[in-house]
């Protein structure tokens, strides 16, 4: 039996966090898809062409996937319900007009639910470049869920010059609560769903989000199941070079990596600037897995993989991470199946002097 006392401090925190939410399930999980623009002529990295988006929906229908509303999935996760195979949830970040013009007609024709995460400041500040309140109300009345994406989409992790921890917490709290108040005022009701801007979070921010009573979503990849971290649920981005049908097929076929403890949940995604080769500890809940086929990939390819025990493996990049957002993506084949178990860990690295990177 793996003992928590053998874990370093950050791993022990992860072990304790998981003990409060239960073990991550082995087997079927749901996949949450994330889109931004459904258009051409918008930034390629965050866009999918309308005809390609239509092909995604056709594929989901042809393969018999169940498209659930986000609320149904969250209830199932909170209540530790066993999920059926082939559950999909569709989400959009930033509420661009192409969602209403190009995506919604296709979804409405199928009667499929979806969620839009809204940064509320842009609705009035950039008319025509963002969905209007009337468009959001129209979609909500037709079954869409509208979620919170802060007021003006800041990098919430970044402290202002000479900003204290208390001042930062107040500012981050105000960003979320101001958006929630506007959503409630204009839409009559607001879900308790929150998506981190840029997918950036650390454990201080997770704690704040938890205190405010939200379920939160990142942009790291992976499937979800009972036991998944409800303060940083993964989603699969589908845009740019990652929007073809082969990518969609692979992502829809994933299950959550069957972990008993994820030490990285105790490790902060926000790295100290000198920690350019972070370690990821993966502890599995049984030995009936082909763990010799476990592989983790960093930005420069496969990581090193150290076997600590029969159920404990440690991944570490072979080369320093670049400044910015990076991930370790870990996969394991499902026995006698084309599916893969999948887990993704976010890392955020600043410059050596502690300064922040610019967005591309």
Considering only CA atoms, which of 297, 293, 258 is closest in space to residue 280? 297
Give backbone dihedrals phi and psi of 138, rounded to 5 degrees, phi first.
-60, -45
Task: Dump strand ranges (E) for the chain.
Answer: 30-35, 37-38, 47-48, 66-67, 87-93, 115-118, 145-148, 193-195, 215-217, 236-237, 254-256, 259-262, 279-284, 295-298, 301-302, 304-309, 312-316, 324-333, 340-349
> pLDDT confidence of 24, banded at 50, 70, 90?
very low
Interval 295-341: pLDDT, tens: 999 999 999 999 999 999 999 999 999 999 999 999 999 988 889 99
Considering only CA atoms, which of 307, 298, 351, 306 is closest in space to residue 327? 298
Residue 46's pLDDT is 94
Q: Where are the domains of the chain?
A: 28-254, 260-349
Neighbouring-strand partners of residue 340: 254, 333
Checking if the pLDDT of 40 tops 90, the result is: yes
The torsion of the CA quartet 290, 293, 297, 300, rounded to 10 degrees, works out to 170
Residue 346's pLDDT is 96
Interval 86-127: pLDDT, tens: 999 999 999 999 999 999 999 999 999 999 999 999 997 777
CATH topology of domain 260-349: Immunoglobulin-like (2.60.40)
Q: Which DSSP state fits 233?
A: B
Residue 28's pLDDT is 82
Checking if the pLDDT of 232 tops 50, the result is: yes
pTM score of the predicted model: 0.90
Checking if the pLDDT of 222 tops 70, the result is: yes
Measured in whole angstroms, how far is the alpha carbon of residue 117 from the centre of its chain?
12
The answer to whether 28-254 and 260-349 have equal CATH topology is no
Higher per-residue confidence, 16 vs 360: 360
Residue 8's pLDDT is 34
Residue 286's pLDDT is 75
- List the structure tokens of 331: 């996969």
Query: Secondary structure of 18-45 in the HEC alphabet?
Result: HHHHCCCCCCCCEEEEEECEECCCCCHH
Residue 18's pLDDT is 35
Residue 315's pLDDT is 95
Residue 288's pLDDT is 82
CA distance 172 to 156: 6
Residue 265's pLDDT is 58
Burial 46-67 (b: 16+ CB within 10 A, else e): bbbbbebbbbbbeebeeeebeb
Average pLDDT score over residue span 158-178: 96
Interval 245-281: pLDDT, tens: 999 999 999 999 988 755 445 578 999 999 999 999 9
CATH topology of domain 28-254: TIM Barrel (3.20.20)
Q: What share of the chain is helix, strand, coil (3-state, %, to 5)?
A: 35, 25, 40
């Amino acid at each position: 039996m793996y003992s928590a006392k053998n874990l370093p401090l950050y791993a022990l925190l992860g072990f304790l966090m998981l003990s409060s939410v239960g073990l991550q399930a082995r087997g079927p999980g749901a996949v949450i898809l994330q889109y931004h623009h459904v258009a051409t002529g918008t930034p390629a990295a965050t866009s999918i062409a309308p005809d390609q988006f239509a092909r995604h929906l056709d594929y989901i229908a042809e393969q018999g996937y169940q498209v659930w509303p986000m609320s149904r999935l969250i209830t199932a996760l909170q209540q530790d319900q066993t999920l059926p195979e082939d559950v999909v949830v569709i989400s959009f970040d930033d509420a661009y007009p192409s969602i209403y013009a190009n995506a919604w007609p296709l979804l409405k024709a199928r009667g499929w639910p979806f969620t839009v995460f809204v940064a509320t400041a842009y609705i009035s500040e950039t008319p025509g470049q963002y969905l209007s309140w009337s468009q959001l109300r129209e979609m909500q009345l037709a079954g869409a869920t509208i979620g919170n994406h802060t007021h003006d989409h800041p990098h919430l992790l970044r402290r202002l010059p000479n900003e204290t921890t208390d001042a930062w917490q107040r500012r981050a709290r105000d960003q979320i609560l101001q958006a929630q108040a506007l959503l409630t005022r204009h839409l009559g009701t607001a879900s308790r769903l929150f998506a981190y801007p840029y997918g950036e979070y650390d454990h201080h921010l997770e704690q704040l989000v938890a205190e405010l009573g939200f379920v939160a979503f990142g942009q790291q990849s992976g499937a979800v199941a009972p036991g998944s971290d409800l303060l940083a649920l993964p989603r699969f981005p589908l845009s740019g070079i990652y929007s073809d049908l082969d990518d969609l097929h692979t992502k829809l076929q994933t299950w959550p990596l069957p972990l008993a403890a994820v030490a990285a949940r105790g490790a902060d995604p926000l790295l100290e600037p000198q920690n350019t080769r972070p370690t990821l500890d993966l502890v599995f809940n049984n030995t009936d897995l082909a763990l010799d086929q476990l592989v983790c990939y960093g930005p420069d390819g496969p990581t090193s993989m150290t076997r600590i025990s029969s159920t404990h493996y440690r991944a570490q990049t072979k080369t320093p991470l670049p400044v910015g957002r990076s991930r370790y993506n870990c996969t394991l084949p499902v026995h006698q199946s084309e599916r893969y178990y999948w887990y993704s860990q976010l890392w955020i690295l600043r410059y050596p002097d502690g300064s922040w990177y610019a967005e591309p």
